[in-house]
Structure 1
């Protein structure tokens, strides 16, 4: 059992759906549909109504693009966190940032988790999280977000991702973050090509074996689009298939854009794996009466 924000989670018997709210004008998925403050807040609260237990707020996309100052990122994410905190006390709020000052301000506003896609590249981030009492998601990536990078190359991508995550877990613990406040993410598509992301998915149990709860962010990623030849907007089935494969391999937190479909899929996986009973039991349960 883990207490995160205002909720308790049993990752042995539960698949948690994390909704995504991008308060950015250049999101790869929604192209700025939730950039306006009211739209961002409405999207988060609607996700809770649809069954998401968690919402991830981002103010800067990971991919290439113009730099966003610390002050601008704070202005994008902190008001959303404050509004959700006022309106929905038990929805876990994480903030997707690699900036320690943004993290500090977000936790002060009510965020319970810092989702650092740089994997604690800035040592100050571990210090901020340790002092704040928040959980942290340590994600594998290579080099700074928003920067042009060379083509991805790995010898054994799963082994290299695993080594990176173990190293950054040690960095977090050395800074004072207890292991029970650490979550890991292999970083599908982050500085990886489609073959790499597929290999990570295929061998995900090796990442799960590291120990902390495993989060995956596969929704609408390019490795899905390239695998099934579907553009953005037509990747729901592929996203749910990838999500399901990851859960069967040990993932317990799934970061998804299409919340209602993801929640249904997660509840079905839980039932199949015996994590919970069906909501109702009626089919073929009544005796046959012969006339």
Structure 2
């Protein structure tokens, strides 16, 4: 039913790599499989205007920081789907695990990862710290020109 609502809305849909529950793909391989499942379901409902969310973050207890780092390191592979890609790493626990910071103290780590994901092709950034993230985007885009 949700697929029909999204299709009828005529607006872009942010679709997360998920099979049964949000973010349930653990490895890079599972993420690609979940993306294919999600895209198949979307196309079955006529949803074509898609922003792809690879589901970075501890959505399920079984997911580890190593899973998130692997996905970030291979973020460029997501271009094979020929869709805009969402990078949503702001203040995530995998950054806190290596910096030792609580969420509010993860700005530097968040900006470092975000800058690399922009270079790897992220086209949409979700952020808590908007002015600082905007500055990173501006500087990274200038460097990439």
TM-score in terms of structure 2 length? 0.90
Between structures 1 and 2, the one with greater helix share: 2
**SS of corresponding position for 1:183:** strand
User: In structure 2, which of residues 104, 109, 112 is the aligned counterpart of residue 238 of structure 1?
Assistant: 109
Unaligned runs of 5+ in 1: 1-123, 146-151, 275-291
Which residue in 2 is equivalent to 1:94? Answer: none
Which residue in 2 is equivalent to 1:126? Answer: 3
TM-score in terms of structure 1 length? 0.46
Q: CA separation of 1:248/1:228 partners in 2, compared to 1, >3 Å: closer, same or farther? A: same
Asked if structure 1 preserves the Cα contact closer than 8 Å seen for 2:19 and 2:38, the reply is no
User: In structure 1, which of residues 151, 163, 170 is the aligned counterpart of residue 33 of structure 2?
Assistant: 163
Asked whether 1:184 is paired with 2:47, we answer: no
Asked whether 1:136 is paired with 2:7, we answer: no
Unaligned runs of 5+ in 2: none
Partner deviation per Cα, 1:107-135 (whole Å, 9 max, x = no partner) = xxxxxxxxxxxxxxxxx221111111121
Between structures 1 and 2, the one with greater strand share: 1
Give 1:142 shift.
5.6
Partner deviation per Cα, 1:39-65 (whole Å, 9 max, x = no partner) = xxxxxxxxxxxxxxxxxxxxxxxxxxx
Which residue in 1 is equivalent to 2:73? Answer: 202
| Bigger radius of gyration among the two | 1
Q: Note the aligned Cα RMSD (angstroms).
A: 1.7
Aligned counterparts of 1:144 and 1:207: Cα–Cα separation in 2: 20
Which residue in 2 is equivalent to 1:58? Answer: none
Give 1:264 shift.
0.4
Asked whether 1:228 is paired with 2:99, we answer: yes
Aligned counterparts of 2:19 and 2:47: Cα–Cα separation in 1: 22
Which residue in 2 is equivalent to 1:268? Answer: 139
Give 1:144 shift.
3.7
